[in-house]
């Protein structure tokens, strides 16, 4: 029984250390639009604290901040950070046209309809820092603003950045 508890504790510690190591590798972040414009206040606080470089081009980001996870977020990430296509084993062979065959209609591929990512929905107060390449949640926090006034949104952004700084320093 003691060995099982010890093994579980070691696994939990290793997982936490791995997550902390991934978080410490983040240098630049992109902020998705958030409820009530919280992303703007958060960008200001992150920049002033010198915690991360806030980038306007999501392709230059190591991680992204969002207040929503789900299908719309995953589709947006796949669009911004596409996985490289698998390399074919051999080049495709050209089809030979036989005499008397009619030309086939050329099919134009259409992009699938993307779920909408909107900032109009009411936020629930949880923010996520998601690794751009691995698509894993590196860090999250629950910090809901008391109201939508600019001063309160700025205070909320300050509390989020303060908590993130404590996590990065190891408490």
Secondary structure of 112-166 as H, E, C letters: CCCCCCCCCCCCCCEEEEEECCCCCEEEEEECCCCCCCHHHHHHHHHHHHHHHHH
Tell which CATH architecture fits domain 26-81+118-171. 3-Layer(aba) Sandwich (3.40)
* Sequence spans of domains, the chain: 26-81+118-171
pTM score: 0.67
Q: How much is the pLDDT for 14?
A: 39
pLDDT per position as a tens digit, 99-119 = 665 555 666 666 555 555 444
pLDDT tens per residue, range 51-86: 999 999 999 999 999 999 999 989 988 888 887 677
The residue count of the chain comes to 171
Are 135 and 76 in contact, with CB atoms under 8 Å apart? no
Q: What is the pLDDT of residue 15?
A: 44
Q: Please compute Rg for the chain using Cα positions.
A: 22
* pLDDT above 70 for 146: yes
- What percentage of the chain has pLDDT greater than the value 90? 50
Write the pLDDT tens digit of every residue in 131-140.
988 899 999 9
């Amino acid at each position: 029984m003691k060995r099982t508890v010890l093994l579980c504790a070691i696994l939990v510690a290793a997982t936490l250390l791995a997550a902390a190591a991934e978080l410490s590798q983040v240098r630049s972040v992109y902020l998705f639009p958030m409820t009530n414009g919280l992303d703007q206040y958060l960008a200001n606080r992150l920049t002033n604290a010198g915690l991360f470089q806030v980038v306007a081009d999501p392709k230059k980001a190591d991680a992204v901040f969002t207040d929503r996870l789900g299908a719309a977020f995953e589709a947006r990430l796949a669009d911004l950070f596409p996985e490289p296509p698998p390399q074919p084993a051999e080049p495709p062979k050209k089809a030979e046209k036989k005499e008397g065959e009619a030309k086939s209609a050329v099919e134009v591929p259409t992009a699938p309809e993307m779920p909408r990512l909107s900032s109009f929905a009411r936020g629930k107060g949880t923010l996520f820092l998601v690794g751009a390449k691995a698509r894993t949640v590196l860090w999250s926090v629950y910090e809901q603003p008391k109201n939508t006034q600019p001063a309160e949104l700025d205070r909320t952004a300050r509390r989020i950045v303060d908590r993130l700084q404590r996590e990065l320093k190891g408490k």
